[in-house]
Amino acid sequence: MVSLRTPLTLLLISLGVIAAAWWWLGIPVKLVRAPIDADDKVQCISYAPFRNHQTSLSQATQVTPEQIAEDLAQLAKISDCIRTYATDLGLDQIPGLAAKAGLKVIQGIFLDKDKQKNSAQISAAIRLAREYPETIIAIVVGNETLLRKDITVADLIATIRSVKAQVNVPVTYADVWEFWLSNRELYDAVDFVTVHILPYWENVPIPAESAAAHVDEIRRMIAAAFPGKDILIGEIGWPSQGRMRESALPSPVNQARVVSEILALARRENFRVNLFEAYDEGWKREIEGTVGGSWGLFDSERRAPKYPPGAPISNFPVWRLQMCGGMALAILIFGAAWLTLRRRPREPGLIPWLAVGLLASTAGIMFGVAAQRMVYESIGAGGWLLSGSLLIAATASPLFAASALMSGRTSPTFLELLGPDGYRTETPFTTLHTLGWTVIVVIGTANAVGLVFDPRFVDFPFAALTMAAVPSAAVTLLNPANKGSRPIAESIFAGVFVAAAIYVGIHEGPANWQSLWTCAAYLMLALTLWQVRA
């Protein structure tokens, strides 16, 4: 017989594990030099003024001069130069306002398949270059246009030469480094080479600790391929949030480290560099996922610097709050187990209590991670609904599981919620357990299918799925269902999870721990689904 001392001891151990884990996760890093510092201005930085619900995807967007002026006053404290990408939606106001703020402008012309819009962009940029000859220091004709296959090389060269003939500033084109190497005929058309080097997006992603060395290697390669041409690294940066790509992990610490190391390298080697980018652009998350809106050194809404000079940087800046939330959840899980025994007295033994301790520790650590990821990864009302539903169901999962471990209940089946009379449960508690389990399986399956068929911008919900998968696996292993038939729906979902785990694990590679962790959660969910009986 297990005395009351045993669960109390296990609870204290669980709370200690949670505290230690969150102390480790929240350890701040203090860099030798901040990414941005008013006492050491960056050479140039990419700027787009879109805020809140503003988006460049809608022609109805019109940026006000007041918000541009506010941004430029802030950016003038950390740089003397900004790079823009277009002239529509009110962006043609930037050069005039930049002149008042004392900023130089590398003016962009956005080119795509729409020739009429291209013509308007070109005309506006030429007009601005003539109007503000002391402010606009260069024009970029097209941004990654060849990468998107929006225009032919011949047409691009003709456009560059046409613009050059009408302005008195240097003219260039900007694209990722591979497209410069494969289109060397651009050499004679441009005044200087503007190359994008984004280690995170490389075909073979580069980890943050190797990003600076990679940038230097590519810069030297481009300089050798285009002798006599000045080289501007037109985009270099790192995302602060989003999914891993092989060993490339987006995080605040990694973003700050990469930017700091690149700037230090540029100072030592004396090369030109433009940071990407000033502000997070939330609208990009609609087309590029979480990672697309997380490249800024200032946040999108408050326009506050992510890394104030002298302040330590943590991937979990509110880790104490997350730790306390995890501890509270762990206490609730032990409480659910104890209340179940009070209502249905039995002697569960040591093993179920050890399982409850495991559930409490796992949930206590993962809850704060899952909540933070929900905040950064939810896009639009639909995204918030899905991620919020998954988090609620995953948070409830260890509570239901702790009760099941104490009462001897087996894992629920979909039939208990959705089946005909005779299968459906009439117990509200079991109904809620089954509803939560159904939400977890359905949303988890949607994520798994997304990672198989369109994975580039799909996040890995490893934290929320772990909160759900560990409890379900524990109940399945300790309270197995020995009678009844295997429901066909559960069998299908189990097959989907197993297939997705195998494919995603291989496709994402062994260096992507977010992928491997998520795949392990898929397999635990599949185990539960395969073992249940109706």
Q: Which one, of 45, 97, 43, lies nearest residue 73 by Cα?
A: 97
Two tokens, residue 31: 């860099």
CB neighbour list of residue 39: distance below 8 Å, 6 or more residues apart = 309
End-to-end CA distance of the chain: 32
| Model pLDDT, residue 310 | 83
Q: How far is CA 494 from CA 194, 257, 445, in A?
A: 50, 41, 9
Helical residues (DSSP H) of 167-245, grouped into ranges? 177-181, 211-225
pLDDT band at 426 (very low <50, low <70, confident <90, very high): low
Q: What is the mean pLDDT of residues 415-428?
A: 73
- Answer whether residue 346 shows pLDDT above 80: no
pLDDT band at 349 (very low <50, low <70, confident <90, very high): confident
Q: Could you give the percent of the chain with pLDDT greater than 70? A: 98
pLDDT band at 370 (very low <50, low <70, confident <90, very high): very high
- Answer whether residue 37 shows pLDDT above 90: no
Mind listing the pLDDT tens digit for each residue in 263-286?
999 999 999 999 999 999 999 998
Taken in order of first residue, the domains within the chain and their CATH numbers are: 43-292 (3.20.20.80), 316-481 (no CATH)
Mind listing the pLDDT tens digit for each residue in 288-335?
999 999 999 999 989 999 998 888 999 999 999 999 999 999 999 999
Contact criterion met (CB below 8 Å) for 229 and 186 = no
| Model pLDDT, residue 109 | 97
Two tokens, residue 102: 């004392």
Other Cβ atoms less than 10 A from the Cβ of 182: the count is: 10
The angle at the Cα of 204, spanning 203 to 207, to the nearest 5 degrees, equals 125
Mind listing the pLDDT tens digit for each residue in 176-224?
999 999 999 999 999 999 999 999 999 999 999 999 999 999 999 999 9
| Model pLDDT, residue 416 | 75
pLDDT band at 2 (very low <50, low <70, confident <90, very high): low
| Model pLDDT, residue 1 | 57
Two tokens, residue 5: 């001392």
Q: Which one, of 451, 477, 478, 476, lies nearest residue 462 by Cα?
A: 451
| Model pLDDT, residue 345 | 72
* Contacts by residues 377-385 (CB-CB < 8 Å, ≥ 24 positions apart): 377/241, 377/290, 377/459, 379/285, 379/286, 379/289, 379/290, 380/286
Contact criterion met (CB below 8 Å) for 129 and 84 = no
| Model pLDDT, residue 74 | 96
Burial of 268 (0-12, 13-18, 19+ CB in 10 A): exposed
Q: Which one, of 465, 470, 459, lies nearest residue 359 by Cα?
A: 470
Other Cβ atoms less than 10 A from the Cβ of 227: the count is: 7
| Model pLDDT, residue 422 | 65
Please give the Cα distance from 207 to 205 (Å, whole number). 7
> Buried (b) or exposed (e) across 60-85, using 16+ Cβ within 10 A?
ebebeeebbbebbebbbebbebbbbb
For the chain, helix, strand, coil in percent to 5 are 55, 10, 35
Q: Residue 233's beta-bridge partner residues?
A: 195, 273
The whole-model pTM stands at 0.92
Mind listing the pLDDT tens digit for each residue in 466-516?
999 999 999 999 988 877 788 899 999 999 999 999 999 999 999 999 999
Averaged pLDDT score across all residues of the chain? 94
Q: Where are the beta strands (DSSP E) in 48-135?
A: 81-83, 104-109
Please give the Cα distance from 279 to 295 (Å, whole number). 7
Contact criterion met (CB below 8 Å) for 402 and 358 = no
Residue linked to tokens 């809850």 = 367
Q: What is the mean pLDDT of residues 245-249?
A: 97
Two tokens, residue 107: 């003016």
Strands 272-275 and 81-83: unpaired
Q: How far is CA 61 from CA 39, 52, 88, 500, in A?
A: 35, 11, 9, 40
- Answer whether residue 427 shows pLDDT above 90: no
Q: Which one, of 141, 38, 91, 25, lies nearest residue 463 by Cα?
A: 25
Q: Could you give the percent of the chain with pLDDT greater than 90? A: 83
Q: State phi, psi for 174 to the nearest 5 degrees.
A: -120, 130
